[in-house]
Amino acid sequence: MWQDFNSYLLEYPSLDAAIYYFINLPLVIQIACVFIVIAFLATLFAYGSILVRRFKGGRRDRRMSVIIPRIDTLLTEHIILNEGLSENIPIDQIQLPLEEFRIPLLRSRFGKQMLIDRIVSYKKSFTGSIGALLRQLYLELELDKVSFKKMKSPKWNRKVQGMIELTDMDMSISDVNILPLTNSKNRELRAEARNAYIKLSKNEPFKFFDIVTEPLLMWDQIELFKTITTTEEISIPNFARWVTYSSNKSIVSFCLKLIVHYNQQDAAPAVMRLLENKDHVLRANAINCLGKLRYEEAEDKLVSIYSNQPLNCQIEILKALGRIDTGGHVLFLRQEFLHSSDFDIRKNAAKSLIKTTGVSQDLIRELIDTGTAENKLILKHCMNPLIKF
Amino acid sequence: MDEPLSFWEHIRNIYESTVFIYGMTMLLCYALLAILSFIGIRRAQKRDSYSDYKKLLGSPLAPGISVIAPAFNEGVTIIQNVRSLLTLNYSRFEVIIVNDGSTDDTLEKLISEFEMVQVDFAYNEKIKSQPVRRIFKSANLAYDKLVVVDKVNGKSKADASNAGINVSSFPYFLCTDVDCIIEKDTLLKMIQPFMHEEGNRIREVGDPCPECGYIHVVEENRRVIAVGATLRMVNNCEVEEGVITRMRPPRALIPRFQEMEYIRSYVLGKLGWSMINCVPNVSGGLGLFDKEVCIKAGGYDPRSFGEDMDLVTRMCTYMRDNKQKYAVRYIPSTQCWTEGPPNLKIFSRQRTRWGRGLIQIMSIHKKIIFNPKYGRLGMVVFPYNLFFEFLAPIVEITGILYYIYIVVTGQINWHYALILLLFVYLYAVMITTFAILWDQITYRYYKTWREVIGLAMMAFLEPIIYHPLIVFFALRGYYYFITGRKHVWGNMQRQGFGRAKPQAG
């Protein structure tokens, strides 16, 4: 039977009264009471956290607004405008005023991190002697030790951060330290380790292509592509090696993109062999690669396999014929344009016909005059310089 | 000895217990979502601390994106908005403005401002839409990313979006409203989930095909089919050249409540669902989609009142029907700013339509509910939406009627009733406050702490003022749907964006 709280107060001291009152409540109300307390405390905690975060964030912004201009002034004064650079003194012989950088403002962990971030940021903007002097400063201030320490952290994101700093500052990391990370279970760490390995390894930067078993995701490929194509003094291998031997399809697919980028014509025969591959995505990539390489020997083969291919490969073949542009398969393109029931096939056949230099204006005019209304529109679409796709 | 309970007392006990269990389950779901979204935010923060999204900018491998923005009678703001879309940070994209039969000077302004000329465009109608009259491209190279489609009015954004999808050239499309303000790095950030999970791994199935000689393959990897991001109200923000220069919560009551509701719904709700791949919906205001899957799923349904949720549901069912793994993801950062309904009349129209859309989706896709064939979509997403989104207003209204009944008949125990009300009230306040905290962890939105606390304090008023309105409009939407009342599309008069006016005196 429910009793008012006041009736308990008449019998017991207040704390005991509250306990007895609670014990005698129905279960549903007991649960509600517990949640009331939890919700009240949690709401207070949330308000407190919002205020603390705002306060800390504001303080951090204020500190940054003081530290960053100071660092920028120091870097401009002692690195960018360094007199030794204008006098062509070798970088390792330039005396840097390290004490200027060891001011109390930059001694804290936060200050050191700001300094590293600014040096890395400047290093990305300056190459040559200024870049080398920034690296020298980073070394002489022993900031590399901070970055190496991060690499030993159990937290993966700290490891990644350290690795990026070292990579950006062109610091060498031994293969022993970095190779195991290229196969780490953590995807982010693995991706960054591969990136760093390509950039820093002096011996075989592409070694991990041989051992990697997981797929390279699109984002990994974009990062690697950027690293490979922008790193100076990297010896570019013949990527046909992995196209032929790698069992990892994403590595093969990535190598096809690199083959196109570096225009590795001697890789084309290896790419041709991929036309027999069972994976239609990989076949489409190989056809795309052959087209972009303008590999004339591939034309007949592409036309011969055309009818057995799925739609994505057929479209790639039509595009490739337009790119290779020998004019040897105009009739085939014309036939596909006139007789295919698929819109995309007709559009790509038309595009390649128009691209092919050997095709006379008479043929195009004939196709416009005799074609269906839709085919006429497709041709006009493809001929219009304002329309790219 | 106790007297045996009467029939009505049994019914009453069952009702009370059911509602309590129902309520507790809902509250626990919210708590779970809060935990999941917190994990998601921390994970995103860690990744953002070192990821250099700008690497995509110059990469020839960056996937192309078509930005599709339907416009109907947007003559006042169209030029500024298109300029804003054209300056998004991304290397491979196009902007498709679909003029959906505007009766004002929207099209004329676009043509003259951007030097548009009509082109013979081979339009392939992969998804049905009202006829496209003309397509324009700019004669000025500076605007070569812009395509303008002029079509017959289809009386819905869905129809216009379908025409835009048919014209688009790239494998992904971003669907937005032309009056939304989009952050410059939106494409860079929203394409990330597609690239982090996409791997094109395939598995061979069966014997070699007698026709082509190859063993057919199925895709084995999880394919991200849609990505959403947080939306917020632009009311009272300061905007210059299509960029937010001063962020602040809306001052008017309705948009202010909506801002708070959006933060809770996106940062706490959808991000939490994203962690377990159970996102029910990608907002029509901002969503990045896989075009191939969208087309195969039939595109937007112009007859739907909740076309965004309907599309995501059909894309998910398409993937399940074809035994392909998929994911729908959300990112925590705010990428889009939209103008919220400024008054109760427009707000009621919007929410009634949403209510109508929800019941329509539940009835159209009823085969999915508790159907194990549809995996999480059938066993988590739809049951949750059925019980805690669709049925919630109905349960609430029965609860209110029941309260009135027991008050009138003197059966209420006021003491317990108040404890229960306080419990629900404080819990709701707690969840909203945590949503605002999570949002602040994502980024320190707003300039001052007073603005944040001011917004958080709205949680105390919400259960009394805002929530009853939502329930009422949802029920009205259900009623209109059941009685087959004709829907009238209203046009929200845009207030426009601009710099803060100087204070008089």
What CATH number has the domain bearing residue B127?
A: 3.90.550.10
Same domain (yes/no): B179, B60: yes
Which tokens sit at B457? 């304090």
Same domain (yes/no): B248, B342: yes
Residues 6+ away with beta carbon under 8 Å from B427 = A35, A39, B27, B30
**Chain B nearest C-alpha distance from A175 (Å):** 22
Task: Kindly indicate the confidence band of residue B216, based on its pLDDT and cuts at 50, 70 and 90.
Answer: low
CB proximity A29 to B under 8 Å: yes
Q: Quick one: DSSP state of residue A358?
A: T
A-chain residues within 8 Å CB-CB of B419? 29, 32-33, 36
Task: Kindly indicate the confidence band of residue B40, based on its pLDDT and cuts at 50, 70 and 90.
Answer: very high
Nearest to B202 among A31, A281, A309 (CB): A281
User: How far, in Å, CA of B291 to CA of A221, rounded?
Assistant: 22
- B429–A222 C-beta distance less than 8 A: no
Nearest to B456 among A47, A278, A344 (CB): A47
Which of these, A258, A193, A187, A183, lies nearest to A222 by C-alpha position?
A258
Same domain (yes/no): B20, B134: no
Dihedrals phi, psi of B51, to nearest 5 degrees: -70, 135
Residue at B206 is within a domain: no
Same domain (yes/no): B87, B194: yes
Residue at B502 is within a domain: no
Q: What is the mean pLDDT of residues B48-55?
A: 81
Same domain (yes/no): B325, B413: no
Tens digit of each residue's pLDDT (9 = 90 or more) over B99-123: 999 999 999 999 999 999 999 999 9
Tens digit of each residue's pLDDT (9 = 90 or more) over B302-315: 999 999 999 999 99
- A2–B413 C-beta distance less than 8 A: yes
All structural domains of chain A with their residue ranges: 1-141
The H or E element spanning position B98 is strand B93-100
Judged by DSSP in three states, B69 sits in strand
The H or E element spanning position B172 is strand B172-176
Interface pTM (ipTM) of the complex?
0.87
- A218–B444 C-beta distance less than 8 A: no
Task: Kindly indicate the confidence band of residue B126, based on its pLDDT and cuts at 50, 70 and 90.
Answer: very high
Dihedrals phi, psi of A31, to nearest 5 degrees: -60, -45
- A388–B423 C-beta distance less than 8 A: no
Q: What is the mean pLDDT of chain B?
A: 90
Residue at B488 is within a domain: no
CB proximity A164 to B under 8 Å: yes
Dihedrals phi, psi of B336, to nearest 5 degrees: -140, 140
Higher confidence at residue B192 or residue B497? B192
Same domain (yes/no): B233, B274: yes
**Chain B nearest C-alpha distance from A162 (Å):** 10
| Block residue for tokens 């937005």 | B176
- Other CB atoms within 10 Å distance of the CB of residue B365: 21
CB B164, CB A215: distance < 8 Å: no
Nearest to B122 among A28, A218, A377 (CB): A377
Same domain (yes/no): B275, B345: yes
Task: Kindly indicate the confidence band of residue A106, based on its pLDDT and cuts at 50, 70 and 90.
Answer: confident
User: How far, in Å, CA of B274 to CA of A133, rounded?
Assistant: 46
CB proximity A31 to B under 8 Å: yes
Same domain (yes/no): B433, B475: yes
Residue at B85 is within a domain: yes
User: How far, in Å, CA of A238 to CA of B30, rounded?
Assistant: 55
**Chain B nearest C-alpha distance from A269 (Å):** 22
Tens digit of each residue's pLDDT (9 = 90 or more) over A232-242: 778 889 999 99
Assess whether pLDDT exceeds 70 at residue B142. Answer: yes
User: How far, in Å, CA of B22 to CA of B395, rounded?
Assistant: 9
Q: Count of A–B CB contacts within 8 Å?
A: 174
Same domain (yes/no): B280, B405: no
Same domain (yes/no): B20, B103: no
Looking at the 3D structure of chain B, how many domains does it have? 2
Compute CA distances B282 → A304, B285, B334, whole Å.
Answer: 44, 9, 14
Q: Which domain holds residue B301?
A: 53-200+220-353
- A35–B426 C-beta distance less than 8 A: yes
Which tokens sit at B314? 């059909």
Residue of A nearest to B54 (CA): A223
CB proximity B452 to A under 8 Å: yes
Task: Calculate ∠ Cα B2-B8-B11, nearest 5°.
Answer: 100
CA dihedral B423→B425→B431→B436, nearest 10 degrees, is -150
Same domain (yes/no): B226, B333: yes
Q: Which of residues 173-192 of A touch B (CB under 8 A)?
A: 188, 192
Assess whether pLDDT exceeds 70 at residue A294. Answer: yes
